[in-house]
Amino acid sequence: MAVRTYLQAITDALREEMRRDDSVFVMGEDVGAFGGAFKVTDGLLEEFGAARVRDTPIAEAGIIGTAVGAAIAGLRPVCEMQFADFVACGFDQVVNVAGKMHYRLGLAVPMTIRLPSGGGFSGGPFHSQNPEAWFMHAPGLKVLAPSTAEDAKGLLIAAIRDPNPVVFLEHKHLYRRVKGEVPDAPYVTDMRARVARAGDDLTVIAYGAMVPAALEAVEGIDASIEVLDLRSLVPLDEEAILESVRKTSKVVVVDEANRTCAAGAEVAALIAERAFEDLDAPVRRVATPDIPIPFSPPLEQRVLPGPASIQEAVRELLAY
């Protein structure tokens, strides 16, 4: 065990899987000598060479479609989008080519698309998005969003070893702020939810950067609060969600993504459909309003959920 940042844990996962399996390779914009815009692939070029650590043209559809071809030829490509926002340029290749291939033709597409996502640092409308719901809505894709260093490593290894296309959301705000004990050897984390904090009075359901925000928010509240870290959005751990709701009967669902049709909307719908009788209060949602993420710090801070807005929602719901 060693203390690693969220970012280092992701790098460790890539390095260890590349050492273990010759078919794993990484590609993306500036991932080689530069080590990636966030330095996630730093040092990989030196160890594995330019054939397996590939700088690509600025062509997101090209990166994703090329990975599809390499995957069906038997390799395990890991693509980096420089920012999650840019995956929109390759959307068609993700949802129409990669996601539908196995259902249509029985051809497996074992590939991982890494998406550095999220806001909170004045990235503006094109460097701050949380596009996970786009991919939850498209059949055939798994969607993962770790919140801890340990899960970042274990879930990325799980993604690389999965026989399907996996969209892996790594939150930029967590890269260097979150750290923790991480096992040295490679390991796989289940695509299931995790109880980040156990409690009996109310459940906060979150994923990615909203998990540490929720943990901070409930610190000091005089009630027993559970925080459920979804970790995986597809597959969605429905049983873990329902089990927590049955226990606490009050739920706050948090998304950093825009509110409409977000992951939290799916969670709220699930609870309404299958745990209505267990609720003591309406499900409360905390999410970014349906606007592009603004640049100026006071504007961005106004719209992004954080400990303060989560705490407010929790207090109101506790008083219901």
Nearer to another protein, 191 or 254 (CB): 191
Q: How far is CA 282 from the centre of its chain?
A: 26
Q: Which of 5, 8, 41, 56 contacts another protein by CB under 8 A?
A: 56
What the block records as the tokens of 113 is: 């698309």
Nearer to another protein, 82 or 288 (CB): 82
Nearer to another protein, 164 or 311 (CB): 164
Q: What is the DSSP string of 67-93?
A: HHHHHHTT-EEEEE-SSGGGGGGGHHI
Q: Which of 46, 47, 92, 184 contacts another protein by CB under 8 A?
A: 92
CB of 126 to another protein, least distance (A): 18
Residue 188 touching another protein (CB under 8 A)? no
Q: Which of 66, 147, 248, 311 contacts another protein by CB under 8 A?
A: 66
Q: Which of 108, 195, 221, 281 contacts another protein by CB under 8 A?
A: 108
Q: Which of 71, 87, 159, 233 contacts another protein by CB under 8 A?
A: 71
Residue 305 touching another protein (CB under 8 A)? no
Indicate the residue type of 191: M
Residue 298 touching another protein (CB under 8 A)? no
Maximal CA-CA distance, the chain: 59
Footprint (CB under 8 A) of another protein, residues 250-289: none
The side-by-side arrangement of strands in the sheet containing 284-288 is: 194-197, 225-229, 202-206, 251-258, 284-288
Footprint (CB under 8 A) of another protein, residues 119-148: 139-140, 142
How many residues does the structure list for the chain? 320
CB of 97 to another protein, least distance (A): 5
Is residue 171 annotated as a catalytic residue, yes or no?
Answer: no
Instruction: Point out the catalytic residue in the list 127, 137, 171, 173.
Output: 127
Nearer to another protein, 22 or 219 (CB): 22
Residue 164 touching another protein (CB under 8 A)? yes
Cα end-to-end distance, the chain, whole Å: 44
What's the DSSP call for residue 292?
P
Say how far apart CA 60 and CA 82 lie, in whole Å: 9
**C-alpha distances out from residue 314 to 63, 88, 201, 240, 299, Å:** 42, 34, 10, 20, 23
What is the set of active-site residues?
127
